[in-house]
Chains A and B, each alone.
Chain A
């Protein structure tokens, strides 16, 4: 990387492409290095954006939504034409959506889903347990949260293949040229919108006990929500709930495949699984959210103008030694572990409790059936400098 030293010196410029694939762990090390250099850096890539690197500043930014707004949440799109619901709403409108969605995503509501989640996990793991090898990502990680998503949204499991194809085109660059990738993404997005449009029309006629039907009954400012709002909410659920769990599961099994001592501990004592998950979420945090700054501010001596895009990489925060002792070490029984892997402030990940259950159940059922496994000898694993997980985690075990 190249670091020049313009004034103000508290805000060095760097240039890197977040789309670059690097060997697993290297992007995490890169953000650790940025933190060591400065509390704020400016990436000159594309239209340019700021990156905060320290826990305190990142936590404060997430908590201050008036200044660090979700009206734009990807650095490449400072003036988006879309408004994902509820994520990109602010203030009271956001609060009203969250208050109505909360009961369906609360710890107690999610407790009630455990049996259904478990049967999905068991079905998938048993489909490859006898093989002696699998790719955690393609054989397990992507299917698992997607089938649960279909179930919660009241959609037929037969639509899984269609969803998997849309997911590949929208969320993972699919194609051999930038033009082809963009075309595939746009086409798939239109298809997802069309699909959910007909689902919403159907649920208005015949409401059921699912997250689409519940949302149709919501009110904002005393008026019923519109079809467009419900559509935007459905699309955001698709964007938020699939790749995230897949990435966390990928990193979890990658860590346990490469750290036999941690694996032996959770196999011997499955009660350790929830705290192991918290620690893996902290040490392998993979989301790199962005916010739009609404007024001229200064962070750690670096002036940031209104309208700028700012990244708040979770891994920069959760691996900061000022917040966590031995931050680069994975201590599966770390206490306390008040990390912000699910963000912080009013926009804290709505699905955090569901994600935790999905991850815990997946690791419990996996280790009951496949307690001893390792990375395949020829494994080549890469990750990106934007929100994403490992591209592949090939593992082998004795049949």
Chain B
């Protein structure tokens, strides 16, 4: 997963879907620009990525 940190505007929809993987800072913005998805978590991660109103999240 890659997050365009310039595009993130703190909607926190990804966090709402998958709070363990999509960590947020104290203001509710993405904490990490990129991370590996653990095996078995792909579907939830993809759903979280698709919930971003800014389209800031890319799954690879």
Contacts and interface: CB of A to CB of B under 8 A. Distances in A.
The secondary-structure label for the interface of chain A is helix
A107 B9 contact: no
B27 A338 contact: no
Interface residues of A, number: 23
Given A102-B10, A102-B29, A107 B15 contact: yes
A70 B2 CA distance: 29
A342 B28 CA distance: 15
B53 A338 contact: yes
Contacts, number: 58
Contact of B47 (A59, A63, A336): A336
B12 A353 contact: yes
Contacts of A164: none
A103 interface: yes
B28 to A, nearest CB: 4
A336 B59 CA distance: 15
Contacts of B26: 102-103, 106, 108
A148 to B, nearest CB: 19
A352 interface: yes
Interface string A61-80: 00100000000000000000
Interface in A64-123: 98-99, 102-103, 105-108
A335 to B, nearest CB: 7
Contact of B27 (A103, A337, A342): A103
Nearest to A102: B27
**Which residue among A336, A344, A348, A352 has the maximum number of chain B CB atoms within 10 Å of its CB?**
A336
B52 interface: yes
Nearest to B7: A63
Interface in B31-45: none
Contacts of B24: 106-108
A280 B47 CA distance: 20
Contacts of B50: 335-336, 338
A120 to B, nearest CB: 23
A338 B51 contact: yes
Given A106-B28, A335-B47, A346 B9 contact: yes
A352 B28 CA distance: 11
A345 interface: yes
Interface string A322-363: 000000000000011111101011101000110000000000
Contacts of A106: 10, 12, 24, 26-28
Contacts of A352: 11
Contacts of A105: 27-28
Contacts of A336: 47, 50-51
A98 B10 CA distance: 11
A323 to B, nearest CB: 11
Contact of A339 (B9, B15, B16, B53): B53
A122 B43 CA distance: 37
A358 to B, nearest CB: 16
A102 B52 contact: no
A107 B16 contact: yes
Nearest to A335: B47
Given A102-B29, A107-B16, A339-B53, A348 B47 contact: no
Interface string A183-226: 00000000000000000000000000000000000000000000
Contacts of B15: 107
Contacts of A344: 9, 53-54
Nearest to B15: A107
A102 B24 CA distance: 12
A99 B27 contact: yes
7 contacts: A103-B26, A105-B28, A106-B28, A337-B51, A339-B53, A342-B53, A348-B11
Closest 5 CB pairs of A and B: A102-B27, A336-B50, A106-B28, A348-B9, A103-B26
Interface of B: 7, 9-13, 15-16, 24, 26-29, 47, 50-55
Given A336-B51, A342-B53, 4 more contacts: A102-B28, A106-B12, A106-B27, A336-B47
